[in-house]
Structures are given as structure tokens and as C-alpha cells.
Amino acid sequence: MNQAMGAGGGAGQRVVLDGDYGIDDALALLYLAGTGAVQICAVGTVHGNTGAVQAAHNALHLLGLAGLPGVPVAVGAHRPLAQAVKYSSLVHGDDGMGGQAVPPTPDRRPVVESAAEQLVRIARAHPGECSVLATGPLTNLALALQLEPELPRLVSRVVVMGGAVVEPGNVSPLGEANVVHDPEAADLVLSADWPVTLVTVDATMRTWLEPSDLARLEAVTSPAGVFVRDALRHYVRFYDEHYGRRSCPLHDPTAAVVLVDPTAATEVLTRPVRVELRGEHTRGTTVVDRRDNRGPGRPEGTAVRLVLGVDRDRVVREVLDGVLAVS
Ligand code: BDR
Ligand code: CA
């Protein structure tokens, strides 16, 4: 990363990251830092893989490793809008980093404003110039929409990792984790009038690492690379035990690649999406209105750009090249 580019690295579009800083969120952040393709303005954290405070410590540590210690990190929502909080500790470890998290240091503290306040402040300061990459439950984005109803006109686009269309869910038969962890927030964000790209598990479950990719990571020597390699061992162990593959899919990094280069998406469907909020077996399901009907009963609502497929080899190569570029 070229230090001359500024505190957030990168010369391109301004991006506010919002995530639940687990292992694949970490890969996404390091990839973005390593490519230098975007300027990371700020990071917000949210409950999900771990607690929002732990996620902030993880993000601060990652930014330090990536040579971006000046990027502010704001702690966001500790719990979903309308249900009890639940962490994905089995997948990411209690600390979100597969047991690799380091204790916070006095010089690396989150800022005092909340993640939603931070997002609104930055969007107001740079109207139309900032993108948002959300890689966790959407609670902070929903709160930001409530704080500033004009937010959809202040941010340029929102890229979210979440949802399942044809692919089965990963935490319930039809539900993907980031949506299931806060269905009310996801419904608000997906139905708001702003340009949302939803990078679904239909796409991300096609980005598993091959043995040669894992071997590339095993050979790293940089502090950032070693940190993420050790955390990934936990992640791979989870997928080995639960999916029978000594590998892992790149959920959040795939969304980050699509943010940087939308042409990495090879299969896209643009349709309104709502989130099921009541079903006993379907709460947290993304309901895509795929009807082509143009008459009465036609699909209504904001069209979401659903990414259902990506160029797998390109995504994996981009992510590994970016992560390994962090010195
Ligand atoms: C999503 O859930 C989390 O566990 C991952 O970090 C990713 O954001 C995948 O469904
Ligand atoms: Ca995540």
C-alpha cells in the first residue's frame, strides 16, 4: 500500500466499511487495504460474528497491520433491532478471529460516536461520494437511515454481503447469517430507495479456496498475512467439520471484490427484495420478486442488484493478491 495515498489508503472511491469483524471480514479489509483501489474512510462494527466491541478491537488491529492506523473505528449496534443477539462463535471463535485476537492497546481506541452516527456524518460531509460495504448484520445501516432519512441521496452505493436466492441458507434452511441476525434491519436497508448490490451466498458459495490457494496463504511471512493465515485455520476447521471440505468460501471478500470491480459479477438479477419477518421456518429469508408481470400485481419497490454468480478464479486471485500485498 502506498502511504502517500492518505490515512485510508487508496486513491479511488471513498468507502465506509461496516462489519462484524470475523475471519472473512478480516480478509475483506486486508484485501481492500492491499489493493489500494479504494480509500477506506472509516469502519463501523456490529454484533454478529462476535460482539460489536470485540469486532472494533479486531478492526483496529487489522488496520494497524495494514498500515492504516489513522482510519477511525466506531462501535455500532450491540444487538439487532427486534430480537435477541446471537454470535457466530462456532464459525469465527469467541473473539471473532479464531482465537487470534489481540488485546486492545491504549493507543488504539474506537471513536466515541456510534457507527450509525459516523456513517451519517461522513455521508453528509461528502454527499454522493461515499460507498458503503456492509459485511455483517445491517443494524447500523438501518439506524443510520432512521437518523438521516436523506442518507439514500447522500451515499453513492451500498454493497452488502448477504441473502440467499436459490442456494440454501447457511444458518437456516433458507436464511443467510447477515440477514437472519437482524431481519428487520435487512428489510429496511433492502427496501430503502438507494442503489444496493446484494452479494448473495449463491455467488459466495462458489468461491471456495483450492489447496493451491491455501498453500499460497500458508507461505506468507508478513505480520498481516500470518495473522489472517492463523485465523483462517480455525475457519477452515469449521468448514471441514460441517461441510466436509478442508477449505472455506470467501463470503465477505467476494463482496469487497464486487465493490472494487462490479464486472467480477457474472450473474446478476435486478429485482425488489423483501425480508420475511414472521415465518416460523422462514424468518430472515430474502424474498426476491422474480415476476416479470408488467400488469396489475407487478413487482413493486426498489430494485436490488442481486449478485448470484461471480468469476470464481478472478475473485480468489484478486483477494489473495490483495491480502499478500499488505506488507
Ligand atoms: C456472512 O456471515 C458471517 O459469518 C460472515 O462473516 C459473512 O459476513 C456469511 O453468511
Ligand atoms: Ca461478516
Query: What DSSP character marks residue 309?
Result: E
Percent of the chain with pLDDT over 90: 91
Predicted pLDDT of residue 10? 62
Predicted pLDDT of residue 12? 85
CB 24 near ligand 1, within 6 Å: yes
Which of the listed residues 18, 20, 200, 319 should we mutate to test ligand 1's pocket, taking the one with most ligand atoms within 8 A of CB?
A: 20
251 an active-site residue?
yes
> Nearest-CA neighbor of 18 among 163, 126, 118, 93?
118
CB 170 near ligand 1, within 6 Å: yes
CA 293 to ligand 1 center in whole angstroms: 33
CA 298 to ligand 2 center in whole angstroms: 34
Q: Does position 76 have pLDDT exceeding 50, yes or no?
A: yes
59-68, 157-166, 176-185, 288-297: lowest mean pLDDT where? 288-297
Task: State the maximum Cα–Cα separation within the chain, in Å, rounded to a whole number.
Answer: 61
Cβ(160)–Cβ(136) under 8 Å? no
The average pLDDT across 168-190 equals: 98
Residue 34 C-alpha cell reads as 492491499
Q: For residue 88, give the ligand 1 atom closest to its CA.
A: 4
Backbone angles phi, psi at 210, to 5 degrees: -85, 160
State how far the alpha carbon of 139 is from the alpha carbons of 10, 14, 37, 232, 251, in Å: 27, 21, 27, 26, 19
Cβ(135)–Cβ(161) under 8 Å? yes
Residue 262 C-alpha cell reads as 462490479
- Higher-pLDDT residue of 12 and 204 is 204
CA 7 to ligand 2 center in whole angstroms: 23
Residue identifier of the C-alpha nearest atom 2 of ligand 1: 177
Q: Does position 215 have pLDDT exceeding 70, yes or no?
A: yes
Average confidence score pLDDT of the chain: 95
- Higher-pLDDT residue of 21 and 105 is 21
Which of the listed residues 45, 87, 90, 135 should we mutate to test ligand 1's pocket, taking the one with most ligand atoms within 8 A of CB?
A: 135
The average pLDDT across 228-240 equals: 96
Q: Model confidence at 294, in pLDDT bands (50, 70, 90)?
A: low
CA 96 to ligand 2 center in whole angstroms: 10
The average pLDDT across 99-128 equals: 95
Predicted pLDDT of residue 7? 57
CA 230 to chain centroid, in Å, comes to 20
Q: Model confidence at 295, in pLDDT bands (50, 70, 90)?
A: low
CB 252 near ligand 1, within 6 Å: yes
